[in-house]
């Protein structure tokens, strides 16, 4: 759905995006992560034909940026970083304006559909200026969907929202994913990216890495299992460490933390061995590094 090839953008001497090459598949939620000023918004603007690249190219929904900009704008939806609604016009009128600009056939039908879907139908006649931040964001999402785009660019969709509103927006994104839409999600919220994204891209002017969150965790930190014992000791750790498939075994506060590649395969054997050596196993669980750990590690390393 989206293919970029050495996509580059310079503003004067300032290199904003450097030779970005990536592919986003149809129906995928693709997280685009990076620090402030990394060039995320510039990339989204290039991919939505708002600005042109200095060098390189991109195909979005089968259309080439710079050459088929009208078709790109017609077929993609964008949620900009700030909702940018017309505050002194009603919610309904705001959407009617955009539905007409997006050449929607059934303007009133589509407007009603999305106002109802996002729980704004009862407030449709109210000026947007009277809306809470969460409601404005939902309205902006509705605006991005009026023309039923197959690709959606969402730039910080939950930024500044309270937890309840954030959850609503996240649930809605999950719903869109179920509908098979391709979602290009720019976010600083790593927990959100972890929950929603099939793959993430860490970006800082140039591409650092692209993969699924699980694979990135495994690559950077390996897999770890925590065995909660009634009483852990170094003897148990040394016993486990002697197994050929164990990378590392450490005792931390009555917990035995074991690094290994395939816990599903080896955990039963480890538990048997621990019990044979007198250990009382209370709980067993996988130690999951947060995506924040992954992200910080990547940004620090590169």
Partner 1 sequence: MKKIKVIILKEWAEVFKNRLVLSTVIFMPLLFTALPLIMIFTTRDSGMEELSSDMPAQFSQLCSSSLTGGECFQVYMVSQFMILFMLTPLIVPVNIAAYSIVGEKTTRSLEPLLATPITTIELLAGKNLAAAIPAVLATWISFFLFIAGAWILVRSPGVIAELLDLMWWIAVLVAGPLLSILSVNFSIMVSSRVNDPRVAEQVSVIVILPVLGLFFGQIAGLFFLNRLIIIAFTLLLFLLDILMVYIAVRLFQRETILTRWK
Residues in touch with partner 1 (CB under 8 A): 11, 45, 48-52, 70-71, 73-74, 78, 80, 82-89, 93, 96-98, 100-103, 140, 143
Nearer to partner 1, 37 or 52 (CB): 52
Helix (H, G, I), strand (E, B) or coil at 290: coil
The span from the CA of 220 to the CA of 205, in Å, is: 21
Please, what is the minimum distance in Å from the beta carbon of residue 89 to partner 1? 6
Residue that has been written with the tokens 């953008």 in this structure: 9
Please, what is the minimum distance in Å from the beta carbon of residue 266 to partner 1? 52
Residue 294: CB atoms within 10 Å = 25
Please, what is the minimum distance in Å from the beta carbon of residue 211 to partner 1? 29
Nearer to partner 1, 105 or 301 (CB): 105
165 to each of 31, 86, 157, 274, 297, how far by Cα in Å? Answer: 20, 21, 10, 46, 30
Nearer to partner 1, 70 or 235 (CB): 70
Nearer to partner 1, 132 or 212 (CB): 132
Nearer to partner 1, 93 or 221 (CB): 93
Q: Which two tokens stand for residue 246?
A: 């164990």
**What are the residue ranges of helices labelled H in 26-66?**
40-47
Nearer to partner 1, 102 or 172 (CB): 102
Nearer to partner 1, 144 or 168 (CB): 144
Please, what is the minimum distance in Å from the beta carbon of residue 60 to partner 1? 12
Q: What is the DSSP string of 254-287?
A: TEEEEEES-HHHHHHHHHHHHHHTT--EEEEEEE
* Residues belonging to the chain: 302
21 to each of 15, 55, 59, 98, 158, how far by Cα in Å? Answer: 16, 12, 11, 32, 27
The span from the CA of 219 to the CA of 252, in Å, is: 23
Please, what is the minimum distance in Å from the beta carbon of residue 135 to partner 1? 16
Please, what is the minimum distance in Å from the beta carbon of residue 12 to partner 1? 10
Residue among 182, 188, 108 nearest 152 (CA) = 182
- CA pseudo-torsion sign 170, 63, 85, 98: negative
Please, what is the minimum distance in Å from the beta carbon of residue 52 to partner 1? 6
Please, what is the minimum distance in Å from the beta carbon of residue 187 to partner 1? 18
Nearer to partner 1, 84 or 119 (CB): 84
């Amino acid at each position: 759905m989206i293919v970029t090839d050495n996509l580059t953008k310079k503003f004067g001497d300032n290199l904003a995006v450097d030779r970005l090459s990536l592919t986003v598949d149809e129906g995928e939620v693709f997280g685009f992560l990076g620090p402030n000023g990394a060039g995320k918004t510039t990339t989204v603007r290039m991919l939505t034909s708002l600005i042109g690249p200095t060098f390189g190219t991109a195909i979005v929904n089968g259309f080439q940026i710079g050459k088929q900009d009208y078709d790109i704008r017609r077929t993609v939806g964008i949620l900009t970083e700030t909702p940018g609604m017309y505050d002194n016009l009603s919610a309904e009128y705001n959407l009617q304006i955009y539905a007409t600009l997006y050449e929607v056939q059934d303007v009133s039908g589509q407007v009603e559909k999305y106002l109802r879907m996002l729980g704004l139908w009862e407030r449709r006649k109210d000026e947007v200026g009277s809306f809470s931040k969460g409601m404005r964001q939902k309205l902006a999402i509705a605006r991005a969907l009026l023309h039923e785009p197959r690709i959606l660019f969402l730039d910080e969709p939950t930024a500044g929202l309270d937890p309840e509103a954030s959850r609503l927006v996240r649930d809605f994104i999950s719903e869109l994913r179920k509908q098979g839409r391709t979602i290009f999600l720019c976010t600083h919220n790593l927990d959100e990216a972890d929950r929603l994204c099939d793959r993430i891209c860490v970006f800082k002017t140039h591409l650092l890495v692209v993969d699924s969150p699980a694979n990135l965790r495994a690559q950077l930190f390996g897999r770890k299992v925590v065995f909660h014992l009634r009483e852990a000791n170094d003897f148990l750790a040394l016993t486990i460490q002697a197994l050929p498939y164990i990378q590392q075994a450490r005792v931390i506060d009555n917990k035995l933390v074991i690094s290994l590649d395939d816990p599903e395969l080896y955990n039963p054997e480890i538990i048997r061995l621990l019990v044979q050596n007198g250990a009382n196993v209370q709980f067993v669980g996988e130690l999951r590094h947060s995506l924040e750990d992954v992200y910080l590690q990547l940004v620090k390393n590169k």
